[in-house]
Structure 1
Amino acid sequence: MFKKLISTAAMSLAVLASSSAVVHAQEAGKEINFGIISTESSQNLKQDWQPVLDAMSKKLGVKVNGFFASDYAGIIEGMRFGKVQVAWFGNKSAMEAVDRAGGEVFAHVMNTDGTEGYYSLVGVPADSPLKSVDDILKNSKTLNFGIGDPNSTSGFLVPSYYIFGQNKVDPKTAFKTIRSAEHSANILSVVNKQVDAAVFASDTLALIEARQPDVANKLRIVWKSPLIAADPLVWKKDLPAATKEKIKDFFVNYGKTGPNAAQEKVALEKLKYSGFKESSDAQLIPVRQLELFKEKTKIEADNNLSVEDKKSKLDAINGKLAALAKA
């Protein structure tokens, strides 16, 4: 009898534990984690994005949490494993999220001047003798260089192609030292002369200019990339259709309509945006082309590949490039 009571009690506890787990799962389903890539300190990013997240929470009727990680990969992996449902990415990291984490682009940001893109920049200290990228490459063996996160479009992919790929330079061996950091850290490293030159995004520089003009004045820009498509917003593709519709409606109308539009415009100004615009995975096509061009350059320079292997790999890349051109 006693054993039966113990067994019954154990079963009851198991049922309670199971019920509790279900409740927690249901509660988790009532929350959305919004991933924010680490372009600068988490404290600054949280301060700037919180009004948007609060408004999103009110609009959707669920709690929206900011999800921060120390690097871009943390947000991508968070989406992959269901810890992040919506995120603000750069184009390169968005491509990774789409390909590896079940993500889908649904909108992109708009700059305060109405433009739909930004630039990758290379800066040096204002009193540096370096005047151009050519100067940097000619003197690279004596220079300390700062580059961005490997999943950053403007911090890594764009300069890797336009500066290093087109000049057939391997940045890993070209410089005295090379370090990877987020955009604002690279700016400060240049200003403090911890590196001789570094890559960062124009939108991050705009924030520094607004918050710390004395810091921005100690910089000089020596290179500016072609226009990069504006940062995309990505959601988990398997979100319910009704939820996705609410999310898209919230962003495309944020700061434009409704009783809180004026307040929302103030929040957008802090982010250096004028609003958000509907988009799709198609905006990632130029980034995919850059990645393929970079891969193509590597294969062409690889003398360890047989003629047959090299031709096969190059044919495959050219086929992908042709398909993207049609798209």
Structure 2
Amino acid sequence: MFKKLLATTAAAFALSSAFVVAQAQEINFGIISTDSTQALKARWQPLIDDMVKQTGLDIKPFFAPDYAGVIEAMRFNKVQVGWFGNKSAMEAVDRSEGEIFAQMVNADGSKGYYSYMIVNKDSPINNIDDMLKAAKTLSFSNGDPNSTSGNLVPGFYVFAKNKVDAKTAFKIMRSGNHESNGLAVSAKQVDVATFNSEQFEIMKANAPDKAKEIKIIWTSPLIPSDPLVIRKDVPAATKEKITKFFLGYGKDDREKQVLKDVAKLSGFKASTNDQLIPIRELDLFSKRLKLEADTTMAEGDKTKAIAEIDGKLAALKK
């Protein structure tokens, strides 16, 4: 009887251990909502299928209606690894136990991409000065609050540097992802919107007639290519498998085509959280300019808040 009990216990323990191991191998891959879920799944699923085959891990794509959904999913360990923009990666690193391990490499050899401000080709608006002068008569679609090219970069260069509050400057303001902003401008459903060069290339390939309806009125400085982020507590062996897959992906013609379909990529290279330093500086400079322009804040409080930002900026430079 005792031997039977031991055998039963051992079998149960083995089954339990196997279950734990299986559970540990389940990975949700988060994908930020630059486009519709349907479009993103079509582009990313072939790469995820290859990742399953080459790593032996059970990997499933995870989508959310906005960037915050993927950031929060990583925070609560519903997502273990994912594709982020630089701004959303900063949030994932600071709030969701994430760390950058890789960075996208563009097929054309460029080291990043650009934020755009766009209008319809028939619009009389030709530059930022025109837009700001006519803002009270215009509808504006901003990007996701956690988007680098859709919000942070134009928020600093277009609005903060011109001492303009985008929330009150326009007749109508709304927000959308890159795809919806481009389509809204091309269809004259909104007067002006944020956009980016990556999405514009996708639109030119998939909807050239709509792309021809868009006019760019502002182009940002170069933004570093997007990072991949993984939770710090992912088991080392699993992390090694995922890192090895991404850094080695793109070795044959089929994989190269998959990368081009994802976002006109040639592959991935190793990266770290240091990639975020210029993004952190941009975020802090933007907050500093907003504080300087604030006329409702007590001078003592303003001076203290600006000093705190300056301290953070100095620490980044070190």
- Separation in structure 2 between the aligned mates of residue 169 and residue 24 of structure 1, nearest angstrom: 56
- Separation in structure 1 between the aligned mates of residue 287 and residue 207 of structure 2, nearest angstrom: 38
2:176 is aligned, of 181, 198, 202, to: 181
SS in 2 for 1:127: coil
1:302 is displaced (CA, Å) by: 2.4
Equivalence map 1:71-150=2 (5 Å): 71-150=66-145
5+ long unaligned stretches in structure 2: 1-11
Superposition RMSD on alpha carbons, in Å? 1.8
Q: Would you say 1:265 and 2:260 are equivalent positions?
A: no
Match of 2:23 in 1: 28
The superposition leaves residues 239-268 of structure 1 with CA deviations (integer Å, 9 ceiling, x where unpaired) of 122221221111111003xxxx22100101
2:106–2:265 Cα contact (<8 Å) kept: yes
SS in 2 for 1:51: helix
Flag the 1:133–1:322 CA change in 2: closer, same or farther, 3 A. Answer: same
SS in 2 for 1:114: coil
Which amino acid counterpart does residue 45 of structure 2 have in structure 1?
Q
Which amino acid counterpart does residue 122 of structure 1 have in structure 2?
M
SS in 2 for 1:276: strand
- Separation in structure 2 between the aligned mates of residue 212 and residue 20 of structure 1, nearest angstrom: 52
1:29 is displaced (CA, Å) by: 2.0
The superposition leaves residues 299-319 of structure 1 with CA deviations (integer Å, 9 ceiling, x where unpaired) of 222233333222221111111
Flag the 1:231–1:140 CA change in 2: closer, same or farther, 3 A. Answer: same
2:142–2:174 Cα contact (<8 Å) kept: yes
SS in 2 for 1:65: strand
1:212 is aligned, of 207, 211, 223, to: 207
Flag the 1:103–1:205 CA change in 2: closer, same or farther, 3 A. Answer: same
Q: Would you say 1:155 and 2:147 are equivalent positions?
A: no
Match of 1:227 in 2: 222
5+ long unaligned stretches in structure 1: 1-15
Q: Would you say 1:304 and 2:299 are equivalent positions?
A: no
Flag the 1:22–1:141 CA change in 2: closer, same or farther, 3 A. Answer: farther
Flag the 1:273–1:309 CA change in 2: closer, same or farther, 3 A. Answer: same
Deviates more, 1:130-139 or 1:302-311: 302-311
The number of residue pairs the alignment matches comes to 306
Which amino acid counterpart does residue 223 of structure 2 have in structure 1?
I
1:24 is displaced (CA, Å) by: 6.3
Match of 1:43 in 2: 38
SS in 2 for 1:322: helix
The superposition leaves residues 142-199 of structure 1 with CA deviations (integer Å, 9 ceiling, x where unpaired) of 0001110000000000000000000000011100001100001000000111111111
2:163–2:290 Cα contact (<8 Å) kept: no
The superposition leaves residues 78-127 of structure 1 with CA deviations (integer Å, 9 ceiling, x where unpaired) of 10001101010000000000000000011111111011200001111111
